Amino acid sequence: METLLELRYIRHAYGQQRVVNDLSFTLGKGAIGCLLGPSGCGKTTVLRCIAGFEPVSAGEILLNGAVISSSSVMIPPERRHIGMVFQDYALFPHLSVTDNIGFGLHSMQKDERSARIAEMLQTVGLADSAKKYPHQLSGGQQQRVALARALAPRPELLLLDEPFSNLDVSLRGRLSLEVRDILKSQNATAILVTHDQDEAFAIADEIGVMHHGEIQQWDTAYNLYHKPANRFVANFIGEGVFLPGKMLDQQQVEIELGTLAGDIPHQCAPDCQLCQKGNTVDVLIRPDDIVHDDASPVQAKVMQKAFRGADILYTLQLPGGSTALSLVPSHHNHAIGEKIGIRLEAEHVVAFSQAVP
Ligand SMILES: Nc1ncnc2c1ncn2[C@@H]1O[C@H](COP(=O)(O)OP(=O)(O)OP(=O)(O)O)[C@@H](O)[C@H]1O
């Protein structure tokens, strides 16, 4: 895939406070990337650097191979051909939906402009609301108008800053998938900033997990969940527990529930001293790694249960006393205090050195 955007070791500080540290990533044309991380990790600042609202003190940002930001270059935002969608929609309240969408299209001929507006109205499913004003629309509809307005001039890149955080959870889920379809239908390249991993998973092709101004791992959702590169990513993405394990060899580790074999644990790669037989590690066990099986001799006690509709998330006490989570189809409804049979069914072994905090 042809590269559209490239960040090379960019830095940014507010006064003495360094909030972006040597951060790099590339994004291909037509791809949807996401910066995901806890509040204050620097996601919005990176987005603002890409948009040209903040300078970089070191490193460079390239769009289509041309430097748009570096310590000596700062192309102004309006010359970057980058569109933005904000958390608060930022629609013009006195303009109709049509005029909001047409706002950035003044350089087009009248007919071309009308056609593009009609196309965008259709794309975001608001053809019936063309004459309405923003206050006559729901939050989800307003965000669709904002998306249509940003996409209408066919920007090289679209930046979305927490676009769904003002919407309720169920709408957020639906709109995330819809926005992905809209972006793909327009062949848009986009970067989303969010702290909500469900949103990131629903929309993005590639996700960069950020912490303290650095990208900890840039990967697919699948790999972030199943092959986290470090403890921060393992803890931040999904649910799970760490259980103590003993290395049997470089690819096998024994935990209380049995022996796990498979992928090489990240911090126990072949050149890692810790992989030597007998070393103790912490093994990440996800709720889907422990399955409920009445026939299993291993019995665990139900300590807590969280009903999630299709599934129940059980917090279990293992025979040895440690705690683990298990995601079980919700027709297996067990009471707190009950003992249930469980079996380990993990495909990916993720283990970290116990010495790492
Ligand atoms: N204009 C500013 N002046 C000074 N400090 C700022 C400014 N904007 C952000 N910061 C600080 O920089 C750090 C990173 O902020 P940023 O908004 O980039 O993080 P974020 O990951 O997007 O967080 P959130 O999800 O809460 O928006 C924070 O500690 C924040 O307080």
**Does position 188 have pLDDT exceeding 60, yes or no?**
yes
Work out the pLDDT band at 61, boundaries 50, 70, 90. Answer: very high
Pick the atom of ligand 1 nearest to 15's CA. 4
**Does position 277 have pLDDT exceeding 80, yes or no?**
no
**Does position 274 have pLDDT exceeding 80, yes or no?**
no
**Ligand 1 center from residue 14 Cα (angstroms):** 9
Which residue's alpha carbon is nearest to atom 4 within ligand 1?
Answer: 14
3-state secondary structure of 272: coil
**Does position 314 have pLDDT exceeding 90, yes or no?**
yes
For the chain, percent of residues with pLDDT exceeding 90: 73
**In the predicted model, what is the mean pLDDT of the chain?**
91
Element (H, E) at 329: strand 323-329
CB atoms within 10 A of CB 68: 24
**Ligand 1 center from residue 270 Cα (angstroms):** 39
Pick the atom of ligand 1 nearest to 45's CA. 18
Write down the ipTM of this complex.
0.87
How large is the average pLDDT for residues 170-197?
91
Residue 12 phi/psi, 5-degree rounding, is -150, 140
How large is the average pLDDT for residues 348-352?
83
For the chain, percent of residues with pLDDT exceeding 70: 95
Can you give the pLDDT at residue 213?
Answer: 93
Distance CA 158, CA 190 (A): 5
Can you give the pLDDT at residue 287?
Answer: 95
Can you give the pLDDT at residue 272?
Answer: 62
Can you give the pLDDT at residue 94?
Answer: 96
Name the token pair of 262.
């498979």
* Probe target for ligand 1 pocket from 18, 19, 20, 54, with the most ligand atoms within 8 Å of CB: 19
Can you give the pLDDT at residue 164?
Answer: 85
How large is the average pLDDT for residues 260-284?
68
Which residue's alpha carbon is nearest to atom 6 within ligand 1?
Answer: 14
Pick the atom of ligand 1 nearest to 46's CA. 18
Work out the pLDDT band at 241, boundaries 50, 70, 90. Answer: very high
* Probe target for ligand 1 pocket from 12, 16, 34, 41, with the most ligand atoms within 8 Å of CB: 41
* Domains present along the chain, CATH in parentheses: 3-232 (3.40.50.300), 240-353 (2.40.50.140)
Can you give the pLDDT at residue 5?
Answer: 97
How large is the average pLDDT for residues 323-334?
94
How large is the average pLDDT for residues 121-128?
92
Report CA-CA distances (Å) from 140 to 156, 194, 212, 262.
25, 17, 32, 44
Work out the pLDDT band at 356, boundaries 50, 70, 90. Answer: very low
* Probe target for ligand 1 pocket from 11, 14, 16, 17, with the most ligand atoms within 8 Å of CB: 14
Work out the pLDDT band at 41, boundaries 50, 70, 90. Answer: very high
Residues with CB under 6 A from ligand 1: 14, 19, 37, 39-45, 195
Work out the pLDDT band at 266, boundaries 50, 70, 90. Answer: low
